[in-house]
A = this chain, B = another copy of it.
Amino acid sequence: MSNNCAVILAGGQGKRMKSELPKPMFEVLGEPMLEWVIKSCEEAEITDLCIVKGYNAEVIENYIGGRYHTVMQEERKGTGHAVMTAAEWLGERRDGNVLILCGDAPFVDADTIKQSLELHIRNESAVTVITSEVNDPKGYGRILRSADGKGISGIVEENDATDEQKKIREINSGAYWFRTEQLLYALEHIKPNNSQGEYYLTDSVFILLDAGFHADAYISPNPDVVLGANDRKGLLRLNDAARKAIIEKQLDNGVEFLCTDGVSIGRNVKIGVGTKILQGTIIKGNTEIGENCVIGPNCLIENCTVGSGTKLNYVQAYDSVIDSSVKIGPFVQIRPGCHIRSGVKIGDFVEIKNSEIGENTSVSHLTYIGDSDVGSGVNFGCGVATANYDGENKFRTVVGDDAFIGCNTNLVAPVKVGSCAYTGAGSTITKDVPDGALAIERGKTEIIEGYGARKLKDRTEKNHRS
């Protein structure tokens, strides 16, 4: 394979977004549109990328973080001008082909990239426009096919199109493959001969045809390749389209959705057959969920691995591993760094953070377990708190297998409760409890007779007054 690379145009501002954010940084399903474009290149094995930055360039730069080469478009004078800023970088890659993509058209896909390249090479084209056939072409540049049925004879913008041309349903997606050598030639000849005084990349098609080269177009079977967003409404439409497409794909895979309202699944999420996703559930990042789980309603799961047969009800979980046959919720937060082993039951109002919870352990209610290593078969009473932070450092708590932690116990770390050990309700445990021992802290208990009756009298009088 020859040397193939891509230039992604990411200099735009997106004025109608009313934001300081460069337009390609707006998110679809939690990822910048630019990232969608980059990932499609990577999936198509185009990994030599140059990103043209412009408006608030440091945002793009920080986001890319050196992963790929970037060049700066100081002024914004059209798509042709944007590509010119990459001319030097392209000059070092003359012998191959270059893909030009818009950083704010997120739905270009790897198959489209690969198959358009194949056509581009097979037909020995200087340029291959990636196109789409749509029912409503209004507003897009129309593709003019050659009379001989081989390749194209140009692209005509909406404003310049005749009534006949306006009926053409094949439109320009704004993405192109060029032979790099010929793109560089064309860039030297594009002129800002238009009312905007801009350099249009579409002109390169005519320049190359005039110079006797072959130009062609690849019709993508994915009509969404043309979609972009100019304002917040458009961005919402992209998000809705992406949400629905992913849910359709998951349905095809045998995932069950009973009501998709409020459901949002990231595109890298994997879900096993027979798992039910209930309304209001958001699954993001690199999450993998096993088979026959029930996730929802209203879960938010990010970067987690969840085993099969696990049930999560109103759970937020981040950067953690939850094994199979676990039952969690409602109203639980699993913060980063947890490993919840199989058979664990976690009830309501529980937070677990940076902890390992052993098999079949039960954490029923109103408990915080942080920075802890908990064995298997442990029972936590209600209201247990690990005091893992002294205002200065964080320490670990260790609880052995089959321990029984009484209600409202404080485990003041660093501390170790032995296996089979018990703690009495309301105890503050500051020293290690040996295996099999009971640790109990009790104050003096007083019973003051008649106290309640006096108080009730006051209470009642007060209520009558008020």
Contacts and interface: CB of A to CB of B under 8 A. Distances in A.
A236 B261 contact: no
Given A21-B274, A385-B425, A236 B253 contact: no
A395 interface: no
A376 interface: no
A462 to B, nearest CB: 5
A75 interface: no
Contacts of A383: 366, 368, 383, 385, 408, 410
Given A349-B366, A408-B408, A448-B437, A251 B264 contact: no
Contacts of A440: 445-446, 448
A392 B259 contact: no
A42 B383 CA distance: 48
B297 A17 contact: no
A243 interface: yes
Contact of A436 (B420, B433, B452): B452
Given A330-B316, A441-B442, A254 B19 contact: yes
B382 A387 contact: yes
Contact of A257 (B17, B236, B392, B434): B236
Contacts of A233: 248, 251-252
Given A273-B19, A434-B447, A410 B408 contact: yes
A436 B421 contact: no
A35 to B, nearest CB: 15
Contacts of A391: 379, 404, 422, 455-456, 459
A420 B453 contact: yes
Interface string A346-365: 01110100000000000011
Interface in A2-21: 17-21
A29 B276 CA distance: 13
A27 B278 CA distance: 13
A18 B449 contact: no
Contacts of A240: 259
A99 to B, nearest CB: 28
Contacts of A426: 408, 410, 426-428, 441
A128 interface: no
Interface in A210-249: 231-233, 235-236, 239-240, 243, 248
A46 to B, nearest CB: 28
A137 interface: no
A435 interface: yes
Contacts of A282: 279, 297
Copies of this chain in its oligomeric complex: 3
Contact of A348 (B259, B351, B407, B443): B351
Contact of A392 (B19, B21, B458): B458
Contacts of A239: 258-259
Contact of A365 (B262, B348, B368): B368
A54 interface: no
Contacts of A280: 261-262, 279-280, 297-298
Contacts of A154: none
A403 B437 contact: no
A387 B308 CA distance: 32
Interface of A: 17-21, 26-27, 29, 231-233, 235-236, 239-240, 243, 248, 251-262, 264, 273-274, 279-280, 282, 297-298, 300, 313-314, 316, 330-331, 333, 347-349, 351, 364-368, 379, 381-383, 385-387, 389-393, 402-404, 406-408, 410, 412, 418, 420-422, 424-428, 430-431, 433-453, 455-456, 458-459, 462
Given A313-B316, A387-B407, 8 more contacts: A19-B254, A239-B258, A262-B297, A333-B347, A383-B408, A392-B459, A402-B452, A431-B445
14 contacts: A18-B253, A236-B258, A259-B262, A313-B316, A365-B368, A383-B383, A387-B425, A392-B459, A403-B452, A420-B452, A420-B455, A435-B452, A438-B447, A442-B444
Question: Considering the complex of A and B, which 9 residue pairs feature the smallest CB-CB distances, nearest first?
Answer: A18-B254, A438-B451, A443-B443, A426-B428, A382-B385, A436-B453, A385-B407, A262-B279, A420-B452
